Amino acid sequence: MHWLAWHLPPIEATTGPATGPVIGLPPAAQGWWALRFTPRVALVDEALLLEVSGTERLWGGRAALQSLLRDHAPSGPETLEGGPLWASAPTALQALALLRLQRQGRPVPRRLPHDLPVATLSALRPHAQALQQLGCRTWGAVRALPRAGVARRFGAEPLAALDRAWGDAPHGLDWITLPEQFALELELPALAESAPALLWAGQRLLDALQGWLRARHQGVQALELAWRHDLRRIDGVDLPPWQSLTLRTAEPLQGMAHLRRLLAERLAHQRLAAPVSRLALRSLQTAPMPQASADLLPPQPGDAGAGQGEPWHQFVERLSARLGADSLRVPRSQADHRPECMQQWQPALAARAAPPAPAQDCTLAPLLPPWLVRPPRPLALRGSRPCLHGQPLRLLDGPQRVETGWWEAAADLNDDESDVQVSAHNGAQDGGSALVRRDYFVAHNPAAGTVWVFRDRATGGWFLQGVYG
């Protein structure tokens, strides 16, 4: 596993030109932006923790993902060499400890996690003075003590935390989840008495809305901004506690620049009936965000809209007209139990017009490898065992029996059993165009790795059908 720890900006992080300090968003809202990169995001103490081992390959590797996170992290005053404070480690608690060392400007110890200071682990902080008197200044020194004695004196939690920090025990965390509807309130540290002050504070809410929209792959079409009056400053005037305005857009949006301009225009004509102490923003209508389609071919000089991409159907039509309808083909699934017949290449224009193939309940689905060998490759035998690359294969799973294709072979078969055997053998060799009678196995040897083989029941021969990555 691989964890990243990011220091959350302090609650009173930013300052506005008219209101002074603007209170920050709730920590969970600050972490919504990270859900675009990994679904495993949690809040622990003062940091946001991200488990990225399962998603980093989707972003081009660990270094590329960390660069993206640094570039898209919410702005905050806590920086290190011009960027947000980040730390990475194999466990969540190790990443959090390294983050705390960075904030203190202390170097990273040579041996991790043994030489990490006691104060960098939250469970050890209440006992730091007592442990120092015992001569224990690092995680490793505490872990070297007799567990029974540590448990009697300090309780079970420090030992459990050390086990989680080393990765010897699972670390259950409360993962951040997105609400079904965006609704967020912001308490102002100082009363706002003008529309520009509201706009400055509202930008924080719009940033949180953008993170929520991106994580849900949605675009907003309607939203409501409401503000609460401070009625204590009004004597003898009957005012509603809340006032609001509604913004609507013609198309779903994720970028907040247009919404900020709309909000500024609407607030410029808004007169506050009383000082404002609280803001609230909620989404009224959202829709799936359409993804822009990029052009597969480089734009030609003089093309209208060059560089803006081309819809897929237009690309198919244009290329089919240029090269011929049969020159551009796409794969289409087929309802067939023979692995080599589960997919058929069809002209792209015809495939778009045809209805989708019905879903097939295939018993081979758990065994199907990512790569098929076409045609199936005959395997040599050593005794009764199939061999590949000169070494016998060890059967790991199977058999999975497939007997199908009789309707294709019936037209050409006679009652003679020899004809059946010949047709079955030919079907195994040329891609399974006739009757097949096969027993499939997952097999392995050190030279070939894990492969997918079958035994032709008609001929007794063994064939290589697929290769696992």
Cα separation, 3 vs 283, in Å, equals: 32
More confident residue, 157 or 421: 157
pLDDT of residue 311: 67
pLDDT band at 418 (very low <50, low <70, confident <90, very high): very low
Strand partners, 456: 438
pLDDT of residue 21: 38
Average pLDDT over residues 86-108: 89
331 and 201 in a common domain:
no
155 and 14 in a common domain:
yes
Cα separation, 189 vs 11, in Å, equals: 11
Q: Domain for residue 295, yes or no? A: no
Distances in whole angstroms, Cα of residue 417 to Cα of each of 402, 423, 458:
19, 10, 10
The residue type found at 56 is E
Least confident span in 14-18, 68-72, 257-261:
14-18
Q: Domain for residue 177, yes or no? A: no
Provide the domain limits for residue 196: 183-233+240-288
77 and 202 in a common domain:
no
Average pLDDT over residues 450-461: 90
Residue 139 CB-density burial (10 A; 0-12 exposed, 13-18 middle, 19+ buried): buried
96 and 229 in a common domain:
no
More confident residue, 454 or 105: 454
Cα separation, 44 vs 120, in Å, equals: 13
pLDDT exceeds cutoff 70 at 9: no
Q: How many CB atoms lie within 10 A of CB 286?
A: 19
Say which residues have a Cβ less than 8 Å from residue 391's Cβ, sequence separation at least 6.
445, 446, 447, 448
Q: Is the peptide bond before 375 cis (omega within 30 degrees of 0)?
A: yes
Coil vs helix vs strand at 77: coil
129 and 46 in a common domain:
yes
pLDDT exceeds cutoff 60 at 438: yes
pLDDT exceeds cutoff 60 at 246: yes
How many distinct structural domains can be found in the chain?
Answer: 4
More confident residue, 469 or 70: 70
Q: Domain for residue 90, yes or no? A: yes
Average pLDDT over residues 215-237: 80
Say which residues have a Cβ less than 8 Å from residue 142's Cβ, sequence separation at least 6.
118, 124, 131, 136, 150, 158, 162
Cα separation, 228 vs 241, in Å, equals: 6
Cα separation, 234 vs 216, in Å, equals: 42
152 and 21 in a common domain:
yes
Q: Domain for residue 359, yes or no? A: no
Cα separation, 373 vs 296, in Å, equals: 29
Which helix (H) or strand (E) segment is 104 a member of?
A: helix 92-104
**DSSP-derived secondary structure letter, 117:** B
154 and 8 in a common domain:
yes
pLDDT exceeds cutoff 50 at 103: yes
Among 161-165, 349-353, 409-413, which range has the highest average pLDDT?
161-165
Among residues 183, 237, 212, 199, which one has the least CA distance to residue 36? 212
pLDDT exceeds cutoff 90 at 239: no
Least confident span in 114-118, 131-135, 287-291:
287-291
- The mean pLDDT value of the chain amounts to 78
Residue 7 CB-density burial (10 A; 0-12 exposed, 13-18 middle, 19+ buried): buried
197 and 282 in a common domain:
yes
Q: CATH no. for residue 189?
A: 3.30.1490.100
pLDDT exceeds cutoff 60 at 462: yes
337 and 420 in a common domain:
no
pLDDT of residue 93: 92
pLDDT of residue 294: 56
Q: Domain for residue 176, yes or no? A: no
Phi, psi (5° rounding) for residue 22? Answer: -110, 125
Cα separation, 274 vs 234, in Å, equals: 7
Q: Domain for residue 215, yes or no? A: yes
Cα separation, 220 vs 247, in Å, equals: 10
346 and 374 in a common domain:
no
Q: Domain for residue 43, yes or no? A: yes
Cα separation, 464 vs 455, in Å, equals: 9
Residue 21 CB-density burial (10 A; 0-12 exposed, 13-18 middle, 19+ buried): middle
